[in-house]
Amino acid sequence: MMDRFSDTGAEKHPAMTPTPQNEAKLGDFAKTVLMPGDPLRSQFIAENFLDSPRLVNNVRGIQGYTGTYKGKPVSVMASGMGMPSMGIYAYELFNYYDVGRIIRVGTAGAINKDLKVRSVVAGIASSTNSEFAMSQFNIKGHLSASASFRLLETAVGAARGMGIEMVVGNLYCTDLFYDASGASVEWGKLGHLAVEMESYGLYATAMQAGKEALAICTISDHVLTGESLDAITRQNSFTEMMEIALETAILL
């Protein structure tokens, strides 16, 4: 990481925007940013849910937009895949763009037998096989990365008001998409709902910055049954989690 990014806090680097990864200027992002992994899902949310969306970042095709939802400013920007990518974009949004909260809206694989494909889950906490927190923060131990309770409580209320059943529990966040070890099944036996690749990096980064984060995911495949959905379906559907995140954004 570049030395000039070593300190946290936008107030310490008021001239840090744009950044090498983000061409937006300070003030271009709303206080709440929805963050899918896929840039095309970012575009889908902006074009289908936001009024007057404008593209504020397209470095590396990551696609960040700001518009309004029911009259309140909301932004959406992709994170890319994995904790290293999420760590870059979440760090910059929190520390250089004065974003107050990030809601991940992504996909996950079910590792709980009671979940079905297309179920919506929210991560109250995230376990990991990654060294992300120890490497990033130089801590001598294992960080328990958790969501913002205020954000989670608001999202649960929004889902309930919309008549959507959203399951809340722990996520397992892994560095490995192709994992020959079968470790995710074992995490499922410990009560974790689903496996994905970004939540731990998001939660840890938010905790360091003193900001809020929540991961809301739609089950796109089931590790235990082998059922899965195609890429286009993942990109252009899963609107329930998007609507829950947007309703949460305007309640805060």
The catalytic residue positions are: 221
Does residue 21 contact residue 89 with C-beta atoms inside 8 Å?
yes
